[in-house]
Amino acid sequence: DTEVTQTPKHLVMGMTNKKSLKCEQHMGHRAMYWYKQKAKKPPELMFVYSYEKLSINESVPSRFSPECPNSSLLNLHLHALQPEDSALYLCASSVAGVRFTEQFFGPGTRLTVL
């Protein structure tokens, strides 16, 4: 199974809502990533988890809160978002602790903030 699944596929939320994005993989990968992709732009790294610990935070605003409850799951909790946060949110996973490793991406969650 080389699949990364993301739910929901689409999400519409208001600026005062709290919602969560979920990502799951069963490849035994111990590194997981969140990327943000605006329309017609390349993906931008947000967070990296390595062995369930946050290892990289690319200066992401605190209204985005990642969580890695176990080695298969990665969540992104959203609160008080702005309309400019509307984007495709991509999750990826890879083997951890090695210099080269292919990242496997999910299909993304398309988020619209009203």
The binder of another protein chosen from 87, 90, 111, 113 (CB under 8 A)? 90
47: Cβ contacts below 8 Å, ≥ 6 apart: 33, 34, 54, 56, 57, 58, 60, 66, 76
Q: By CB under 8 A, is residue 101 in contact with another protein? A: yes
Task: Name the one range near another protein by CB under 8 A: 10-18, 65-73, 78-86, 102-110.
Answer: 102-110
Which of 1, 19, 3 lies closest to 77, judged by CA? 19
**Binding map of another protein across residues 8-47, x = CB under 8 A, - = no contact:** -----------------------x-x--------xxxx--
DSSP state of 25: E
